[in-house]
Structure 1
């Protein structure tokens, strides 16, 4: 069968492979020079056929026993086929023939790295660094090792060295963003990418990473500008459109975000996350039919995307179809059992359906998963108060205050419950606490118990704090 040659192979390479295959067919022994053998091995590597490439490397070694290059190629192929011991042995032999070849130490470093023997990996990479002409890839490897060791500061140092060697190294640009992210040092990230862009204004990856750093600093307008530059340089950059859409959502520009999300479809296959994001925008615009249509497309594409199932529930809830909403909330919960937002929505829907016990159990779960959700504590205590379970309501608010000692709303609610129970002295103590925390929010008390507006003692205390 005729081999198909990719565009880019030289006539010599093509001739070498054809001759080699003829030799195998004829069970013969032809002689090839070292370059021809390298071409044949590379051809099979590109065809993704490591066993055949290994077979060629073996022939090459027999004909050129003193050429280290074939032992190095053999080691690379043995790594791919998971023969670690064989790879180490081949590198050992290669080092005896040509100890100054940096590839020996790079491959050995890779092997140690994959075995999590980071000290030995670094030793080999450092050696490669001394010997290699182009060092950016070696520096990138060293940076990876430090990341694996959890030393992100040192990793950043090597990534910057890598970019100094080769400003075009995209991997280093993205890894740098990752390290700054882990260290939660977005400000330094912004500074770095801005300096980088001064030297390389047409690096779409740098603009994109700058946009991501601005996003994490909640500087969404600046993020959008950066994404726009990335798109200007690379107009099919789907991730930049998607992240720009997210930034617009954060600015509550939902209609604009929908347009930008839709643009990603021109450059990549629509995916479940984008459909879900469009659904959320329509939901925020209260266009529930459109929202539901996109959420449904999303779950059709990825039935495991909990947020999309949840979104369908939200659209039904909005239409007061609580029973149906509950079904979809529970589908989302099955996929993400520890999601406090899902439990909160379930608690609320159960309450609206009059299922007090189920609602109470769901609220219990919300505050267990997210004890700093003040609204959940307030709603939870509310359903107890409605059932005249004053002692339980007071206990829930007491727990809430323990978890959120600075939340004035909780103290005001406590005052209301204590008054309702008749514990006036304790109520007044909590009122002073509430007013100390935030005097402006005293209206909460009157919202809950309007009759207290006629209580002179309370009005006097409030006036003392608000005037």
Structure 2
């Protein structure tokens, strides 16, 4: 009876492993050794690969291919100098072997000399009859160099060689996304799908591009086709749920998220999305149920703790909100937005010292949002540190020099300390930037808004603007 192809391919491996268990020595063709070594390398069994190389070279000491596999292992284990010495000797024997240039390129890549690696890979490309793998390696080198245009072209060539090469397809789309060429990605994927209409991976990626462009109906259609192509494709159900959320179809979104849970072990991310949908539907108890399931499933998922925090914060249960934001900060204390949320909660609780510290942490970690500067300045005022509040606003002004809100607030604080000269300058600047926001000044500083001093400044600015 004829053997199946996978049985044939496993025969040398089974024979080799049988030999290792005994004291017998079996003979293998050099090609069989190559297959055995590739099998072990592809499965991460480096020790067995090295043993096969050693025995293979004992039986076939002149085999350049086996010696090149030995070099590959040396490069993998960072024995770069020894690998280069081996390659020098091999190049004398066979100067037109593209694998020599590929391994030299790998060595340069390991040394972070990606430009030299590209030169060598192009030499290998000129010598190679089968250039698929070389284009893939070139694509990775271009990614290391942040040359996403050339990386994209290399991975496109890989896909043109093998349209089932989904790894390269993902890399093509990654390059499009990094270059923010979403229309280009959509065109490329539609062209690909004309040739491969039942490729769930391509439909899934197309849906993501439409989602990025807020073309939600088109995204929904793409995910539906992904599911038609493979009704077990969990990622398509999950992404479809996100689209339905954006469209306000929360019940349908929940249904899709629940499908992912039924098909595979539940994930914290699915629980989190279901919780948010229930909250949108005002199903508070169900929202809490799924939020708590989120953090139970993955206690290190800071977004889960943040969701619970926001849930209680929106319901003005600030004490519980503080408890849960501290949970999030214990997991990710470098997250500037969590510190800002912590500051807002402490402000609501009247804990202004803690709020001041949290705002400081948020800014130091890179949160330079306008609301952060304004909120922090208000906290400084509550702490009776008006000079500090003015300094905070001056820092914010560096990021938002055209902000009338900062100028109006600064003017009010300067009036608080009777700095009339600077208050006048700040108020005039604010009125020139956005006269309509004078109401913000009136709301926060009513004790000054109706004074003749302020009214005179306002009327002068009005006259000059006519």
Normalized against structure 2, the TM-score is what? 0.80
What's the CA shift string for 1:187-239, capped at 9, x where partnerless?
Answer: 44444434444444444333333333344444444444434433333333333
Q: Which residue of the partner structure matches residue 175 of structure 2?
A: 179
Equivalent-residue separation in structure 2 for 1:418 and 1:37 (angstroms): 83
Task: Confirm whether residue 63 of structure 1 aligns to residue 84 of structure 2.
Answer: no
Q: Which residue of the partner structure matches residue 9 of structure 1?
A: 6
Report the count of equivalent residues: 461
Task: Confirm whether residue 162 of structure 1 aligns to residue 158 of structure 2.
Answer: yes
CA contact (8 A) 1:418 1:426 kept: yes
CA contact (8 A) 2:309 2:324 kept: yes
Equivalent-residue separation in structure 2 for 1:465 and 1:260 (angstroms): 61
CA contact (8 A) 2:352 2:382 kept: no
Distance 1:147 1:407, change over 3 A: same
Equivalent-residue separation in structure 2 for 1:256 and 1:463 (angstroms): 54
Distance 1:423 1:256, change over 3 A: farther
Distance 1:132 1:424, change over 3 A: same
Shift of 1:139: 0.7
Compare 149-158 and 377-386 and name the one that shifted more: 377-386
Paired residues for 1:26-425 under 5 Å = 27-38=23-34, 40-41=36-37, 49-80=45-76, 83-84=79-80, 87-88=83-84, 91=87, 95=91, 98-251=94-247, 253-369=249-365, 372-385=368-381, 393-414=389-410, 416-417=412-413
CA contact (8 A) 2:337 2:367 kept: no
Equivalent-residue separation in structure 1 for 2:295 and 2:391 (angstroms): 41
Compare 17-26 and 334-343 and name the one that shifted more: 17-26
Equivalent-residue separation in structure 2 for 1:331 and 1:223 (angstroms): 35
Distance 1:426 1:162, change over 3 A: same
Equivalent-residue separation in structure 1 for 2:176 and 2:48 (angstroms): 43
CA contact (8 A) 1:67 1:97 kept: no
Compare 347-356 and 75-84 and name the one that shifted more: 75-84
Shift of 1:412: 4.0
Shift of 1:7: 7.4
* Structure 2 residues not aligned, in runs of 5+: none
SS in 1 for 2:350: coil
* Structure 1 residues not aligned, in runs of 5+: 1-5
Distance 1:223 1:27, change over 3 A: same
Compare 222-231 and 421-430 and name the one that shifted more: 421-430
Q: Which residue of the partner structure matches residue 3 of structure 1?
A: none
Shift of 1:161: 3.0
Shift of 1:146: 1.8
Shift of 1:74: 3.5
CA contact (8 A) 1:371 1:400 kept: no
CA contact (8 A) 1:298 1:308 kept: yes
